[in-house]
């Protein structure tokens, strides 16, 4: 790009040299979460992707809708994310001499729905006519909405109360909002669907078990829920997946093979779906029972008030705030970015300064959350723990602990090794040293690539008759709106990855939310997912 004259000393800055092309990965966190939740995914992307890309790999973990702001509804949060994206595009051009030519979105939990709303708004303003969309991935996202399907008082209460506990977002997730947002987002004629079709690869990862927050049927976009009768299901994984060393653990990615998993015969003596490194607590049912009873007795009286008080106050505040808050003007902002980064005009000085400030804020949050972050995380953890304790107490989930390393200790170490946002360089070695000594993460990218090459077609199967666990008994009686969403979204060419993480909280574990070593199986799974991206880049 040729040097442009500065129109105003106070309003614009000039970038003189020809920029390098960049591929921006936007990592969108979930309900009550923050950008730190996406660190493990970010590190795997930065370590394993650059060697396969002709574009500089850069990442963005938006922070403008963190914590309690996630209650403000999909539209406002999508506008916030787009604003973060546009400021970062300007900052990359101004500070790093990078021009974003490609974009990919990765959404976790609610972040997947926000990402789909973002895509619709970007489609509307013509963003994808300039920036090429490549990958769209969701981890444990409630595409079909949230619904607790067990016929008991706990689930009936959760369905009745849940929609009121999370502000506008709650009504949208429970499909009770007047705009029927999730139904509209699945309409092939609407901008959300049209924009989604522009992406080259669509990937979803769904927990088959131990995720009471986002059940399998909604994250897998299916009318079937085959893993509810866990005692009669035998899980089989994709064959010969490479082993990964993470800290002191040696584990394999947990991609489930639905073509080989099956329903056990009544006379079967199979001991269940035990993973490597099984602890005493998982082997001993009596010990598990007493621990769960103790947890329920001691902590439920604390968890329930925390959830109700925190969420109710935040919901009321969100309802009021959204009525008066000024929303970002994304269309006009995009016109400015298009004229400077992708045109001949200089970058707006004020925008460049705001972008720098937002970067500084994200780095600060990476070291320590604010008070709002601490309280929202407390509420989030209390809600998830209550759901998992209830599931175990009722006998629906047989596992009680996980064998990964202590979360708090390792989270501190992860924070100390924070990688600069624009530092996407990585050597082609298969070893990524995130910490010193034995706490390295050793992922054989070439072996993962080969495994994906062998199994990719299995993950793309749409014929449900190929899955023995998908039976007439596993089919759910869903509402007409949910069936509409499933039918339309399944017209997209998805790569669907069922994941079984044998842990107390698989919703946390599927993205190793508290750091790469706090859920080693989740980290190994993320590493194998990156090879799906690597394979596409290699082919193109």
Are 50 and 426 in contact by the 8 Å Cβ rule? The answer is yes
Q: Are β-strands 244-246 and 441-442 bridged in parallel, bridged antiparallel, or unpaired?
A: antiparallel
Q: Which domain holds residue 65?
A: 12-539
Is 240 within the bounds of a domain?
Answer: yes
Question: Which pTM value belongs to this model?
Answer: 0.81
CA–CA gap between residue 523 and residue 43 (Å, rounded): 10
**What total of structural domains would you count in the chain?**
1
DSSP β-bridge partners for residue 104: 25
Per-residue model confidence as pLDDT tens for the chain (540 residues)? 333 333 333 344 555 578 999 999 999 999 888 889 999 999 999 999 988 888 999 999 998 887 778 888 899 999 999 999 999 999 999 999 999 999 999 999 999 999 999 999 999 999 999 999 999 999 999 999 998 877 777 677 777 877 777 778 889 989 999 899 999 999 999 999 999 999 999 999 999 998 888 999 999 999 999 998 888 999 999 999 999 988 888 899 999 999 999 999 876 555 556 555 445 444 555 555 565 556 555 555 655 665 666 666 666 666 577 677 777 789 999 999 999 999 888 888 888 788 878 888 777 776 655 444 444 454 545 444 544 544 544 445 444 334 443 343 344 444 434 444 444 344 333 334 444 433 477 899 999 999 999 999 999 999 999 999 999 999 999 999 999 999 999 999 999 999 999 877 889 899 998 888 778 899 999 999 999 999 999 988
CA–CA gap between residue 284 and residue 84 (Å, rounded): 49
Is 4 within the bounds of a domain?
Answer: no
Is 5 within the bounds of a domain?
Answer: no
Burial pattern 38-59, b for ≥16 Cβ within 10 A else e, equals bbbbbbbbbbbbbbbbebbbbb
Is 2 within the bounds of a domain?
Answer: no
Dihedral (C-alpha) 70, 101, 89, 55: value to the nearest 10 degrees? 100
Are 230 and 502 in contact by the 8 Å Cβ rule? The answer is no
Is 149 within the bounds of a domain?
Answer: yes
CA–CA gap between residue 141 and residue 186 (Å, rounded): 14
CA–CA gap between residue 294 and residue 301 (Å, rounded): 12
Is 386 within the bounds of a domain?
Answer: yes
CA–CA gap between residue 303 and residue 309 (Å, rounded): 10
Is 3 within the bounds of a domain?
Answer: no
Contacts of 393 (CB under 8 A, 6+ apart): 292, 293, 296
Tokens of 378: 């407390």
Contacts of 209 (CB under 8 A, 6+ apart): 216, 227, 230, 397, 500, 501, 502, 506
Are 472 and 261 in contact by the 8 Å Cβ rule? The answer is no
Is 1 within the bounds of a domain?
Answer: no
């Amino acid at each position: 790009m040729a040097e442009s004259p500065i129109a105003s000393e106070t309003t614009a800055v000039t970038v003189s040299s020809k920029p390098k092309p960049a591929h921006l990965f936007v990592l969108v966190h979930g309900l009550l979460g923050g950008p730190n939740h996406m660190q493990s995914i970010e590190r795997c992307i930065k370590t394993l992707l650059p060697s396969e890309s002709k574009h500089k790999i850069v990442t963005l973990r938006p922070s403008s809708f963190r914590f309690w702001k996630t209650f403000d509804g999909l539209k406002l949060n999508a506008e916030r994310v787009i604003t973060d994206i546009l400021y970062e595009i300007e900052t990359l051009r101004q500070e790093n001499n990078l021009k974003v030519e490609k974009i990919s979105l990765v959404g976790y939990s609610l972040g997947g729905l926000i990402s789909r709303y973002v895509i619709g708004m970007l489609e509307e303003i013509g963003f994808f006519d300039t920036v090429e969309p490549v990958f769209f991935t969701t981890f444990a996202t409630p595409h079909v909405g949230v619904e607790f399907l067990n016929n008991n008082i706990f689930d009936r209460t959760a369905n009745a109360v849940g929609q009121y506990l999370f502000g506008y977002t709650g009504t949208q997730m429970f499909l009770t909002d007047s705009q029927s947002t999730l139904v509209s987002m699945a309409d092939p004629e609407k901008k959300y669907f049209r924009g989604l079709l522009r992406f080259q690869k669509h990937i979803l990862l769904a927990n088959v078990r131990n995720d009471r927050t986002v059940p399998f049927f909604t994250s897998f976009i299916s009318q079937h829920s085959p893993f509810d009768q866990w005692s009669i299901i035998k899980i089989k994984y994709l064959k010969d997946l490479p082993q990964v060393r993470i800290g002191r653990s040696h584990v394999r990615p947990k991609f489930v093979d639905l073509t080989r998993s099956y329903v056990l015969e009544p006379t079967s003596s199979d001991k269940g779906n035990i993973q490597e490194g099984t602890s005493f607590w998982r082997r001993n049912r009596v010990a598990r029972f007493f621990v769960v009873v103790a947890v329920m007795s001691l902590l439920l009286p604390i968890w329930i008030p925390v959830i109700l008080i925190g969420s109710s106050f935040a919901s009321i505040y969100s309802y009021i705030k959204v009525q008066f808050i000024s929303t970002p003007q994304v269309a006009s902002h995009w016109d400015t970015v298009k004229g400077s980064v992708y045109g001949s005009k200089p970058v707006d000085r004020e925008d460049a300064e705001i972008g720098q400030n937002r970067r500084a804020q994200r780095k600060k949050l990476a070291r320590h959350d604010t008070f709002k972050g601490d309280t929202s995380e407390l509420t989030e953890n209390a809600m998830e723990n209550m759901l998992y304790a209830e599931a175990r107490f009722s006998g629906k989930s047989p596992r009680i602990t996980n064998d990964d390393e202590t979360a708090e200790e390792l989270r501190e170490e992860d924070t100390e090794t924070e990688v600069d946002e624009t530092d996407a360089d990585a050597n082609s070695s298969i070893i990524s040293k995130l910490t010193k000594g034995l706490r390295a993460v050793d992922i054989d990218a070439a072996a993962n690539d080969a495994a994906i090459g062998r199994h990719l077609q299995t993950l793309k199967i749409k014929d449900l008759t190929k899955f023995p666990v998908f039976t007439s008994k596993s089919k759910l009686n869903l509402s007409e709106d949910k069936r509409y969403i499933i039918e339309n979204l399944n017209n997209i060419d998805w790569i669907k990855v069922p994941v079984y993480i044998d842990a107390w909280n698989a919703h946390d574990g599927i993205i190793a939310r508290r750091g790469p070593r706090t859920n080693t199986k989740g980290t190994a799974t993320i590493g194998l997912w990156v090879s799906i991206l690597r394979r596409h880049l290699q082919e193109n």
